[in-house]
Structure 1
């Protein structure tokens, strides 16, 4: 029986499952740990080290090489991605952003459960513009 080792850590279980599927499609057995803990209490993800992806020790190098592959350019070329501009300042530095995350975290720490609704959207890092999605 071989020893299992951590080859990658993720903040969200979905990302870990995508990585696991990539490894298994190449014939590398993989196991995910702590996904249920993170699903139940997402605020604990960073505290416990995230969702961990394990593989047998003999597959470590090959697994890390597969996980390091970046297919972003291939996806962009298929969809011909064009850069998104901020409508307020015409900047290109837009990020995915969750509005209300910090207050919800503070209320969660004090009361044990979040009371706020979140707003997911895009935010301009240059001028602060936010658009809910």
Structure 2
């Protein structure tokens, strides 16, 4: 069964609500903002709708209020040792040299330009097809990545 959301704070400024929401999420508390889009589009409606509402699950109300109290009194310290860092993302490593001339002036061409151009002419919008080719700007050699 889903937990009920409880409003623990309201804000007249959207940016302030996002800052506090980010801090609670950094502490591991799942939270949501209510009426953020109304206030974002029409800031003068903030008073009419009751401001941006910061909502947390019922199980996290006490902990979230304690963190809010620490933030408001200015003595909030974040413990970076307890936060697990995400592993670094694996990036696609492009070849650094051209197999033809040995130059390092190469670039990856991610999309097939022929299909991209024809789809734009025929359909009115481009359809990106990935090609993963590389081009050497010194000798003009094209090649595919071998994996």
TM range, smaller chain:
0.5 to 0.7
- Partner in structure 2 of residue 7 of structure 1: 8
- Partner in structure 1 of residue 110 of structure 2: none
Larger radius of gyration: 2
- Partner in structure 2 of residue 71 of structure 1: 74
What is the count of residue pairs matched by the alignment?
Answer: 74
Matches within 5 A, 1:14-33: 14-33=15-34
Contact 2:67 2:76 in 1 (8 A): no
Whose RCO is larger (CA < 8 A, sep 6+)? 1
Q: Could you state the TM-score of these two structures normalised by the residue count of structure 2?
A: 0.47
* TM-align CA RMSD: 1.8
Q: Distance in 1 between matches of 2:62 and 2:7?
A: 11
Matches within 5 A, 1:42-61: 42-61=43-62
Unaligned runs of 5+ in 2: 78-147
Q: Distance in 2 between matches of 1:73 and 1:35?
A: 25
| 1:20 positional shift | 0.6
Q: Distance in 1 between matches of 2:76 and 2:43?
A: 31
| 1:73 positional shift | 9.9
| 1:6 positional shift | 0.2
Q: Distance in 2 between matches of 1:40 and 1:4?
A: 24
